[in-house]
Amino acid sequence: MRTAAETEVRRPSAVRALTILLATTAAATVVVELINWWYAPEQGFGLAVRTGWAMLRSFGFLLLIGHVRRGRTLARPFGLILAVTTVFAVGRLIVPRQGVPPLPGLLGFAVLTGLCVAVVWLLYRSSALAGHLVRHRQRLVIDRAGISWRETPPRRPEASGWLLTSRAAAFTYSPLMLVPALVAGGSILDGRLSAVPAVLFWFCAGITVSYAVLFCTAFLMRGKQWAGRLLVVVTVAVLAVDLPLCWWLLGVDGLVRDGAPLLAAAALTLYGLHRASRAPEAPPT
């Protein structure tokens, strides 16, 4: 019988390397945001909201460490969308409204981008990690042996990696809409009361999207083709609502800073659905 210490030693070296890399990326995210805040010419409400949202991603990398150490299948798509959106979330804060970005901010962003690329490369190119990330989450099981808490494969057909990627990317729609809506709420404090209905609609739309995505992905993971088509409709509707509101309430600067991350998430969702639809069906087990 193996002890916990022996199990820890027998983990692939790629797991330990990725754990260290993820911890470094989480720390780098915080450092780059603090540098950007220090050099920012305008430390207003909008920058505070965007900086806080970007720094929350450091907790996402720590959560990803837990998934990697436990060998969860969710680690790959979660790591991909976390790395992509982190690059966009931090990159939109480096460029000021006027002038050129400060050199420390550019260097920090380059280092963080390199770390995110390394994370994605390890997750998808390491054969050792591919053999490690095969476990499902634990569930409460009641059987003849009694009640136990153990790993249980899902009853539904196993979803492909591209479907999991689409689901992870689609779940970012709601926060990517709520963050610019909160930034636009700062304009109300500046006396722009005419924006109140639009900001409230933006908030409601962001919350509604979270439920719509949850509904679509629940059936998408069960192999329902209509759920994929419905998710495409939701994606188009999200872009049709969010991008014009970004341009109207936040200007071209807001459209670039807040619309680009949402476009990246939408593109990843649609590409994942496209690849999943072209993949051959797995034989029944």
| Per-residue pLDDT tens over the stretch 8-28 | 446 678 888 999 999 999 999
Sequence letter at residue 89? A
Residue 169 is assigned to a structural domain of this protein: yes
Residues 15 and 147 in one domain: yes
Residues 260 and 189 in one domain: yes
Residues 212 and 94 in one domain: no
Q: Given 126, 153, 180, which residue is the final one in a domain?
A: 153
Q: Given 153, 187, 215, which residue is the final one in a domain?
A: 153
- Written in H, E and C, the secondary structure of 218-270 is HHHCCCCHHHHHHHHHHHHHHHHHHHHHHHHHHHHHHHHHHHHHHHHHHHHHH
CA distances from 97 to 41, 92, 157 (A): 9, 10, 49
Please state the rounded mean pLDDT for residues 246-275: 87
Query: What is the chain's mean pLDDT, rounded?
Result: 80
Let me know how long the chain is. 285
Residues 139 and 187 in one domain: no
Chain position carrying tokens 């609609």: 201
Tokens of 241: 């609502």
Residue 6 is assigned to a structural domain of this protein: no
> How many structural domains is the chain composed of?
2
| Residue of 211, 175, 17, 158 whose CA lies nearest to 82 | 175
E-strand stretches of the chain: 138-143, 146-151
Residues 195 and 148 in one domain: no
Residues 185 and 113 in one domain: no
Range of the domain at 230: 159-278
Residue 4 is assigned to a structural domain of this protein: no
The DSSP output letter for 285 is -
- Work out the number of other CB atoms within 10 angstroms of the CB of residue 20: 11
Per-residue pLDDT of 32-65, as tens digits, reads 888 877 776 666 666 777 777 777 888 889 999 9
Residues 204 and 262 in one domain: yes
Residues 257 and 131 in one domain: no
Residue 283 pLDDT exceeds 50:
no
Residues 119 and 224 in one domain: no
Q: Are strands 146-151 and 138-143 parallel, antiparallel or unpaired?
A: antiparallel
Residue 6 pLDDT exceeds 60:
no
Residues 27 and 146 in one domain: yes
| Residue of 272, 136, 159 whose CA lies nearest to 221 | 159
Read off the pTM.
0.74
Q: How many angstroms separate the CA atoms of 275 and 164, rounded? A: 11
Residues 133 and 117 in one domain: yes
List residues bridging with 151 in a β-sheet.
138
